[in-house]
């Protein structure tokens, strides 16, 4: 380890051990998040230990204990179930390990919380829904309770429905697993077959939207449906912009930027510097129309056109390199 010139201890010497402990690793969002965390760690000469997520709460707990035993200086906890993490995270804090949480409410004043401004994300998506469809339509809604970002987005959906009596939720479904898109597709097929009058699906997670699109294509109803999502990846951009795609808008951050912000928040704490308790990376509305018009084909294209897709000013300091993408 070479260390960083002008950085505070222990980053002046380098090789600081940090663990990234995820609940989910499968899917574009989580792979890009991890890649961003790795890029930021490399720039800080951090020895990042990545523990893969397998949607297994017991394994994630065990991984936190393993990280404590490895003698890490910091832990980034990416998603998970708060009820199975509270006590092991407290053990880490008691040992002086700095902890950052992304999208899991650890409810601990010592743990900064990173999120993508999920209320705003859902609000922007639903404003586009109204712009395209008015305030009276039959909807499908994809949701799985218990994931902090989905629960926050759900609060906005519930409020939206209560304020718009013409919006009727005809079906609710969803699954989060290592095969989220295909299992959601099976459920969507059943829901859309049983409710042929659904014209809008709010699917605020890209794996959900991918599943609904698969179902719509299989059923031959893509031209009668509009899908609104969260998240973006190069593969998503391809699916949104292809001819005849029912996936008409998404609201997203660059997940790699969010991964980088999470590692920076851990680094700042390890260096003894202040980090706000709530750290937000703001999302941007991306419509099918705007992506096509701008000729955007990849996340890299987005990063060139929209500054928020290449970097964030959250959790920065003069000694932290933050131009990574």
Which one of residues 137, 143, 147, 173 is an interface residue with ligand SR1 (CB under 6 A)? Answer: 147
Return d(Cα 227, Cα 73) in angstroms, integer: 43
Question: Angle at the Cα of 250 (from 227 to 239), degrees rounded to 5?
Answer: 70
Taking the C-alpha atoms of residue 135 and residue 200, their distance in angstroms, rounded to an integer, is 11
Question: Whose Cβ is closer to ligand SR1: residue 68's or residue 144's?
Answer: 144
Chain centroid to Cα 88, Å, comes to 23
Assign residue 127 a region: left if phi > 0, alpha if psi is -120 to 50, beta otherwise? alpha
- Per DSSP bridges, beta strands 247-252 and 284-287 are antiparallel
Q: Of 74, 125, 149, 259, which one interacts with ligand SR1 (CB under 6 A)?
A: 149
Write the DSSP string, 210-252: HHHHHHHHHHT-GGG-EEEEE---HHHHHHHHSTT-SEEEEEE
Size of the site for ligand SR1 (CB under 6 A): 10
Going 40 to 42 to 44 to 47, the CA torsion angle's sign is positive
* 169, 199 Cβ separation under 8 angstroms: no
Residue 116 interacts with ligand SR1 (CB under 6 A): yes or no: yes
Considering the complex, state which of residue 51 and residue 205 has its C-beta at the smaller distance from ligand SR1.
Answer: 205
Residues in 192-211 at the binding interface with ligand SR1, rule: CB under 6 A: 205
The least distance separating ligand SR1 from the CB of residue 319, rounded to whole angstroms, comes to 29
The alpha carbons of the chain give a radius of gyration, in whole angstroms, of: 20
Nearer to ligand SR1, 225 or 258 (CB): 258
Residue 176 lies near ligand SR1 (rule: CB under 6 A): yes
Q: Is the dihedral of CA 288, 222, 183, 118 positive or negative?
A: positive
Q: Scanning residues 230 to 249, which ones bind ligand SR1 (CB under 6 A)?
A: 230-231
Q: Interface with ligand SR1 includes 124 (CB under 6 A)?
A: no
Q: Which is nearer to ligand SR1, 11 or 202 (CB)?
A: 202
Query: Which C-beta is closer to ligand SR1: that of 72 or that of 156?
Result: 156
Query: Among 67, 73, 150, 225, which residue interacts with ligand SR1 (rule: CB under 6 A)?
Result: 150
Rounded to the nearest angstrom, the gap between the alpha carbon of residue 58 and the centroid of all alpha carbons in its chain is: 22
Mark the segment that binds ligand SR1 (CB under 6 A) among 145-153, 157-165, 290-298, 317-325: 145-153
What CA–CA distance (Å, rounded) separates 321 from 147?
31
Q: Is 78 in the site for ligand SR1 (CB under 6 A)?
A: no
Using the contact rule CB under 6 A, the part of the chain among 42-50, 69-77, 146-154, 165-173 near ligand SR1 is: 146-154
Question: Which range in 143-151, 165-173, 186-194, 314-322 contacts ligand SR1 by CB under 6 A?
Answer: 143-151
Q: Do residues 18 and 44 make contact, with C-beta atoms less than 8 angstroms apart?
A: no
Residue 73 vs 263, nearer CB to ligand SR1: 263
Give the interface with ligand SR1 as residue ranges (CB under 6 A). Answer: 29, 103, 116, 147, 149-150, 176, 205, 230-231
């Amino acid at each position: 380890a070479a260390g960083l010139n002008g950085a505070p201890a222990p980053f002046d010497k380098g090789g600081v051990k940090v663990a990234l402990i995820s609940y989910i690793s499968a899917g574009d969002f989580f792979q890009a998040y991890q890649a961003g965390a790795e890029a930021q760690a490399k720039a800080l000469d951090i020895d990042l230990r990545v523990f893969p997520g397998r949607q297994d709460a017991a394994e994630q707990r065990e991984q936190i204990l393993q990280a404590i035993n490895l003698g890490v200086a910091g832990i980034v906890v990416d998603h998970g179930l708060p009820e199975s993490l509270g006590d092991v995270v407290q053990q880490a804090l008691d040992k002086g390990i700095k902890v950052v949480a992304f999208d899991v409410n650890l409810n601990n004043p010592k743990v900064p919380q990173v999120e993508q401004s999920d209320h705003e994300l859902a609000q922007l998506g639903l404003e586009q829904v109204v712009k395209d469809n008015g305030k009276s339509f039959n909807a499908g809604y994809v949701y799985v309770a218990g994931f902090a970002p989905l629960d926050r987005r759900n609060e906005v959906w519930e409020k939206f429905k209560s304020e718009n009596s013409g919006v009727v939720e005809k079906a609710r479904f969803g699954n989060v697993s290592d095969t989220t898109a295909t299992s959601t597709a099976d459920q969507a097929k059943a829901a859309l077959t049983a409710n042929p009058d659904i014209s809008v699906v709010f699917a605020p997670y890209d794996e959900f939207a991918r599943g609904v699109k698969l179902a719509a294509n299989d059923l031959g109803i893509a031209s009668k449906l509009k899908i609104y999502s969260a998240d973006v990846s190069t593969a998503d951009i391809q699916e949104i912009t292809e001819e005849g795609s029912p996936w008409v808008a998404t609201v997203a951050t660059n997940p790699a930027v969010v991964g980088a912000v999470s590692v920076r928040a851990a680094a700042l704490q390890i260096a003894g510097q202040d980090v706000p308790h709530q750290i937000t990376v703001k999302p941007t509305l991306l419509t099918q129309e705007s992506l096509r018009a701008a000729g955007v084909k990849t996340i890299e294209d987005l990063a060139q056109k929209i500054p928020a897709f290449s970097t964030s000013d959250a959790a920065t300091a003069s000694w932290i390199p933050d131009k990574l993408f």
